[in-house]
Amino acid sequence: MDQEQVVASNYLEEIFASNVFNDATMKARLPKNTYKALKKTIDEGLPLDPLVADVVANTMKDWALEKGATHYTHWFQPMTGITAEKHDSFISPTSDGRIIGEFSGKELIKGEPDASSFPSGGLRATFEARGYTAWDCTSPAFIKDYTLCIPTAFCSYTGEALDQKTPLLRSMEALSKEALRVLRAMGNTTATRVATTVGPEQEYFIIDKKLYDQRKDLILTGRTLFGAKPPKGQELEDHYFGNLKERIASFMREVDTELWKLGVLAKTKHNEVAPAQHELAPIFSTTNVATDHNHLTMETLKKVALRHGLVCLLHEKPFAGVNGSGKHNNWSMSANDGQNLLEPGKTPHENAQFLLFLTSVVRGVDEYADLLRASAANTGNDHRLGANEAPPAIISVFLGEQLADIFHQLENGGAKNSKSGGELRIGVTTLPTLPKDSTDRNRTSPFAFTGNKFEFRMVASSASIAGPNTALNTIVAEILSQVADRLEKSKDVTAEAQAIIKEVVKKNSRVIFNGNNYSDEWVKEAAKRGLPNIKSTVEAIPVWITDKVVKTFEKHAVLSKVELHSRYEIFLENYAKQINIEALTMLLMSKRQILPAVVKYTGDLAASLTAVKSASAKATTSAQEKLLIETSEVLASFSNNVDALEKAVDGIEKIGEDSLKQAQYYRDVVVTTMAKLRADGDKLETLVDEKAWPLPTYADILFNV
């Protein structure tokens, strides 16, 4: 290793997690007994001793003050889709008029934000303000903007979850409990905990802030509500993995540095398929930590972009006609004795434990496909799912050639051998022979097995990964519970395990599809198999309160019926509010920008036409006349659709208080009218002189970074 490599290596080691109160920092700073007690709480899920909390809080405060922090905050994830924080300083007055820095165990463990100001779905009345934040000691505290941030859960005065982290932590415990039952039945006596791990790949767009500032739709809604298709999009496939522009590379370097300081394992960065689109992928972490880190990643992308005169767009479909953004949720299960429970090994057909856990996930996905779909639903994803860029709205599982072959053998009597990965010969003598993975990648599949994990590709780019992982953990916990019940009652566990595996292969193979999920043939085939095709968020949301889902979530103490109904209301309200904001923004842009600009342009055209006719004796139709006629016709239609959208928005008052009916009205009436108005607006963009058009175009935005 040369001197430059040594310097780079030392730099990385020095800055990584430098702003995190992680295990290494705790071990170095806490008294041995305190450290052991806290570790026991973290590793085994035991209650935290208040005396231990006091020592931890004081040590954490001293560390934070050394780092320049002046405040602390309970950092939590309410149902707004983003994080929240209320900052308190460390100062405490003394009798001589001075101050000292104080931070108690009580302040570390519990906070009290105003619960009435966050979405509760009817759980809390406006006048009922009290809510609590509780320290999630399994996710390390960190320093951000001179503030000690303490990851916490958020609940109401009566104990119901008001956030996304509480049910996630509950679902992790539920899965661990049921997975351990299965492992014990299979003879494993060493594992004491099973954790789910996640590596969320984050897609995003980066555009110039000067152009962003000229688009009210981007500012208010996160996506363009008008915009004609540019002459060039992504059809040349020249942006994917292309050279990073210097400005983007500089931005990405700072993002990496900021994330590394926060202990986020940012690993991969590259250009994505669409122009101006990029991706950041981390190394996997325990699910609740990965969720915290993904929120920090989204926040850091936005913050750092502004420093570079850029804006980061996390909306699922900021630009029509080019690829949107998703979040690929790489999910697996690991026992604390070192086993990845989804690792096939060299002979997966002989690995009963692997096949049992694999088939449990497959069964869960099949039996709760509608819930998985609902967990990935939001207004942005409605523009993305089902297009030739993202998984369709149909949930299916990709297993790859080797595992599909094993399933086929099991269906026909039993697996005796498997198609191994083998070697990949490239055909050039100077290039090495590569080991071939046992599964290919299927980028069209919404739920693909990729070696030792499942990649849930349907998750929305702007959304928290807490919801999808809560659903996934709970689904798998339920299936593992059923498996454990059977194994624990069986006199021959091996035979019973084999029977369960074969049963899943026969009953749940309908959800397995290794082909092209984008094809029309698959949509028809999925319908024949009876797989649900839930095309919109409004269709998906009611799944959360079906009897089956309520029963499952209550059985595993993840969410109660009341909590599920509150989320149902919040999701519907959010959908209606977001569509309403988009519609009002369209009206604003139409009346104050597009209509005035086009009216002036047609006026100039008419004046030009008069001059041309005065100068010519021939009664021929001039270019000006043709353009004026076409532009005027589209303008008239545009104006009529502005009136129609105004009427559609006002029509919500007649719907009543039923949140489902309101959401359905916005989807069926308002969104449909918005599409008609957009079509006219985009047509006008292609007719009007670019100097007269009031908005930066797609060509301006996507190719000027």
Whether the CB-CB separation of 302 and 697 falls below 8 Å is answered with no
Greater confidence (45 vs 206) lies with: 206
**pLDDT-based confidence at 108, cuts 50/70/90?**
confident
**pLDDT-based confidence at 103, cuts 50/70/90?**
confident
Coil, helix or strand at residue 283: coil
Tell whether 474 and 617 lie within a shared domain: no
pLDDT of 508 > 50? The answer is: yes
Question: What residues have CB less than 8 Å from 629, skipping those under 6 apart?
Answer: none
At 35 the pLDDT is 93
- Of 525, 559, 593, the one marking the end of a domain is 559
Phi, then psi, of 407 in degrees rounded to 5: -60, -40
* Average pLDDT taken over every residue of the chain: 89
Question: What residues have CB less than 8 Å from 257, skipping those under 6 apart?
Answer: 15
Give the span between the Cα atoms of 343 and 357, in whole angstroms: 10
Give the span between the Cα atoms of 571 and 186, in whole angstroms: 41
Give the number of residues written for the chain.
705
**pLDDT-based confidence at 400, cuts 50/70/90?**
confident
The CATH number of the domain where 339 resides is what? 3.30.590.10
Worst-scoring range by mean pLDDT, 331-335, 416-420, 550-554? 416-420
Give the span between the Cα atoms of 76 and 59, in whole angstroms: 22
At 435 the pLDDT is 52
Give the span between the Cα atoms of 181 and 478, in whole angstroms: 12
At 571 the pLDDT is 97
pLDDT of 5 > 80? The answer is: no
Tell whether 149 and 192 lie within a shared domain: no
Query: What is the CA 328 to chain-centroid distance, rounded?
Result: 8
**pLDDT-based confidence at 349, cuts 50/70/90?**
low
pLDDT of 156 > 90? The answer is: no
Tell whether 492 and 634 lie within a shared domain: no
Domain hosting 481: range is 171-559
Residue 3 domain flag:
no
At 125 the pLDDT is 61
Mean pLDDT in residue range 349-366: 90
pLDDT of 568 > 50? The answer is: yes
Tell whether 109 and 199 lie within a shared domain: no
Q: Taking each helix axis from N to C terminus, what angle separates 493-508 and 401-411, rounded to the nearest 10 degrees?
A: 110
Residue 6 domain flag:
no
What one-letter code names the amino acid at 629? I
Coil, helix or strand at residue 176: helix
**pLDDT-based confidence at 462, cuts 50/70/90?**
very high
Residue 7 domain flag:
no
Tell whether 133 and 211 lie within a shared domain: no
Tell whether 395 and 466 lie within a shared domain: yes
**pLDDT-based confidence at 422, cuts 50/70/90?**
low
pLDDT in tens, 524-543: 999 999 999 999 999 999 99
Q: pTM (2 decimals)? A: 0.93
Query: How many domains, the chain?
Result: 3
Residue 463 domain flag:
yes
Worst-scoring range by mean pLDDT, 107-111, 212-216, 539-543, 678-682? 107-111
Residue 567 domain flag:
no
Burial (CB < 10 A; 0-12, 13-18, 19+), residue 575, is buried
pLDDT in tens, 58-102: 999 999 999 999 999 999 998 888 898 889 898 776 556 665 667
Helix ranges, 490-594 (H): 493-508, 520-529, 537-540, 547-555, 561-589
The CATH number of the domain where 664 resides is what? 1.20.120.1560
Burial (CB < 10 A; 0-12, 13-18, 19+), residue 275, is buried
Whether the CB-CB separation of 330 and 284 falls below 8 Å is answered with yes
- Of 138, 162, 186, the one marking the end of a domain is 162
Whether the CB-CB separation of 313 and 214 falls below 8 Å is answered with no
Residue 32 domain flag:
yes
Give the span between the Cα atoms of 56 and 137, in whole angstroms: 11
The CATH number of the domain where 27 resides is what? 3.10.20.70
Whether the CB-CB separation of 351 and 422 falls below 8 Å is answered with no
Mean pLDDT in residue range 4-14: 71
Residue 564 domain flag:
no
- Of 162, 186, 214, the one marking the end of a domain is 162
Tell whether 436 and 484 lie within a shared domain: yes
At 439 the pLDDT is 57
Which helix or strand (DSSP H or E) is residue 3 part of? Answer: helix 3-15
Coil, helix or strand at residue 34: helix
At 9 the pLDDT is 66
Residue 191 domain flag:
yes
Coil, helix or strand at residue 684: helix
If we measure between CA atoms, which residue out of 472, 470, 477 comes closest to residue 456? 472
Tell whether 110 and 199 lie within a shared domain: no
Tell whether 181 and 102 lie within a shared domain: no
At 434 the pLDDT is 42
Mean pLDDT in residue range 116-125: 74
Tell whether 210 and 358 lie within a shared domain: yes
Which helix or strand (DSSP H or E) is residue 279 part of? Answer: strand 277-282
At 304 the pLDDT is 98
Tell whether 157 and 285 lie within a shared domain: no
pLDDT in tens, 449-461: 988 999 999 999 9
At 557 the pLDDT is 97
Q: Which of 5-14, 97-106, 196-205 has the highest mean pLDDT?
A: 196-205
Sign of the dihedral defined by the CA atoms of residues 177, 178, 184, 190, in that order: negative
At 414 the pLDDT is 63
Give the span between the Cα atoms of 117 and 120, in whole angstroms: 9
At 158 the pLDDT is 80
And the tokens for 486? 């059977």
Tell whether 347 and 492 lie within a shared domain: yes
Mean pLDDT in residue range 221-228: 97
β-sheet bridge partners, residue 99:
93
If we measure between CA atoms, which residue out of 269, 367, 329 comes closest to residue 453? 329
Worst-scoring range by mean pLDDT, 131-135, 280-284, 622-626? 622-626
